[in-house]
Structure 1
Amino acid sequence: MALFSSSKYPNTAKYEAEQKKNKADYERFNQYAKSDELKRINELEILINSADFTKKVDKLKNEKFKDTAEFRQLQKYTTQKKSAEFKKYFKYVASGMPERVKQIEVSSKRKELAELNEYVRSSEFQSARQQKGFKKSEAYQKFKRCKALTKDKEIRLFNKQVNSSLYKNYLNIHNSERLKTYQELEQEVTSEKFIAFKNWMEDKKKFQKSEEYSLIQEYNKLVKSPDYIWYKKVEKDNSFSEIKKWQLLFEDDFSSTSLNREKWITGYYWGKALLNKTYVLENEKQFFTDNNISISGKGVQLSTRNEHADGLVWDSKRGFMPKAFDFTAGLISTGQSHRQQFGKIEAKVKVDHVHPVRHAFWLVGEKMAPQIDVFRFEDKNAKSHLAGLQLINGKGPELQSKTVKGAKFDSDYFVYSIEWTKDKLSWFINGVKVNEQTNNIPDAQMYLVFSSHITDDVEKLDASANMYIEWVRCYQQKN
Structure 2
Amino acid sequence: MSFKIFSLQLAGKIKPTATIEKKRAELLADYAEFQKTEKSEELKAFLELEEWVNSDAFKKTKSEVESLSFKGSKEENELKEYQRLKKSGAIKKYFAVEGSSDLKRFEKERDSDKMKSYYELFDYVKEGQFEKDKKEIQSQVFKGSVEEKHWLEYRKLEKSAGIKAWKELNSSDAVKKHEALEKTEKFKKYQQLKNAPGHSKEEKAEFNKLKGDAEIKAYFKFEQSKKLKLYRETAGSHDLKRYDELAAYVAGDEFKKREAFLKDKKKFEKSEAFKKYAEFKRLAGDDTVKFVLKYEKSSLYKNYLDVKDSFDLKRYHELEEIINSEEFKKQKAWLEDKKRWEKTDEYKKYQDYLKEKQKPEFVKYFKYQKSSDFDFLKNWEVVFEDNFSSTKLDETKWDVCTAAAGKLLGENYALPGDLNIFTQGKNVSTGKQLRIQVKKEKAEGKVWKMPAGFVPTEFDYTSGLISSDKAFELKDGILEAKIKFDPVKPVISSMYLASSETSNRVNLVEIGARNNLGFSVVSGNGKVESVGIDISNLKKGDYIFSLEKQGPKFTWKINEHEILTQDNSELNKPMHLMASSLVIDEISGSQLPANFDIEWVKCYAKK
TM range (shorter): 0.7 to 0.9
230-239 or 352-361, larger mean C-alpha shift: 230-239
Q: Between the two proteins, what is the percent identity of the paired residues?
A: 30
Match in the other structure for 1:57: 62
CA distance in 1 between partners of 2:57 and 2:325 (Å): 29
CA distance in 2 between partners of 1:272 and 1:201 (Å): 90
90-99 or 445-454, larger mean C-alpha shift: 90-99
Q: Map Cα deviations across residues 10-31 of structure 1 (whole Å, 9 max, x no partner).
A: 5999722212321232245346
Q: Residues 113-262 of structure 1 correspond to what in structure 2 (within 5 A)?
A: 113-120=118-125, 121-122=129-130, 123-128=132-137, 132-133=265-266, 134-218=268-352, 239=373, 246-262=380-396
Q: Considering only aligned residues, what root-mean-square deviation do their CA atoms show, in Å? A: 3.9
Task: Measure how far apart 1:336 and its partner are.
Answer: 1.4
- Quickly say closer, same or farther: Cα 1:43–1:323, change in 2 above 3 A: same
Aligned residue identity for 2:404: W
CA distance in 2 between partners of 1:209 and 1:3 (Å): 68
CA distance in 2 between partners of 1:316 and 1:90 (Å): 134
5+ residue gaps, structure 2, are: 140-263
Q: Residues 264-413 of structure 1 correspond to what in structure 2 (within 5 A)?
A: 264-272=398-406, 276-281=410-415, 284-290=418-424, 292-295=426-429, 297-314=431-448, 321-326=454-459, 327-350=461-484, 353=487, 356-377=490-511, 379=513, 384-390=514-520, 401-407=531-537, 411-413=540-542
- Quickly say closer, same or farther: Cα 1:92–1:341, change in 2 above 3 A: same
Matched-pair contact (CA < 8 Å) for 1:428–1:435: yes
Pair 1:476 & 2:604 matched: yes
Matched-pair contact (CA < 8 Å) for 1:418–1:428: yes
2:577 corresponds to which of 442, 448, 451 = 448
Find the residue that maps to 2:5 and give its secondary structure. coil
Task: Measure how far apart 1:137 and its partner are.
Answer: 4.6
Aligned residue identity for 1:407: N
Task: Measure how far apart 1:250 and its partner are.
Answer: 2.3
CA distance in 1 between partners of 2:269 and 2:415 (Å): 169
How many aligned residue pairs are there?
469
Q: Map Cα deviations across residues 301-347 of structure 1 (whole Å, 9 max, x no partner).
A: 323344444444556767x6342242432111111122221222222
Q: Residues 452-471 of structure 1 correspond to what in structure 2 (within 5 A)?
A: 452-454=581-583, 461-463=587-589, 464=592, 466-471=594-599
CA distance in 1 between partners of 2:485 and 2:324 (Å): 93
CA distance in 1 between partners of 2:401 and 2:280 (Å): 147
The structure that has the greater radius of gyration is 2
Matched-pair contact (CA < 8 Å) for 2:477–2:604: yes
1:75 corresponds to which of 65, 80, 83 = 80
Matched-pair contact (CA < 8 Å) for 1:425–1:441: no
Match in the other structure for 2:223: none
Aligned residue identity for 1:124: D
Task: Measure how far apart 1:217 and its partner are.
Answer: 4.6
Task: Measure how far apart 1:237 and its partner are.
Answer: 7.1
Question: Normalized against structure 2, the TM-score is what?
Answer: 0.66
Pair 1:109 & 2:114 matched: yes
Task: Measure how far apart 1:266 and its partner are.
Answer: 0.7
5+ residue gaps, structure 1, are: none
Match in the other structure for 1:6: 5
Matched-pair contact (CA < 8 Å) for 1:424–1:437: yes
Find the residue that maps to 2:562 and give its secondary structure. strand
Task: Measure how far apart 1:38 and its partner are.
Answer: 7.0
Find the residue that maps to 2:16 and give its secondary structure. helix
CA distance in 2 between partners of 1:185 and 1:376 (Å): 95
- Quickly say closer, same or farther: Cα 1:367–1:49, change in 2 above 3 A: same
- Quickly say closer, same or farther: Cα 1:468–1:398, change in 2 above 3 A: closer
Match in the other structure for 1:17: 18
1:414 corresponds to which of 543, 548, 565 = 543
Matched-pair contact (CA < 8 Å) for 1:351–1:467: no
1:87 corresponds to which of 81, 88, 92 = 92
34-43 or 436-445, larger mean C-alpha shift: 34-43
Q: Map Cα deviations across residues 181-200 of structure 1 (whole Å, 9 max, x no partner).
A: 44333333322222222233
Find the residue that maps to 1:376 and give its secondary structure. strand
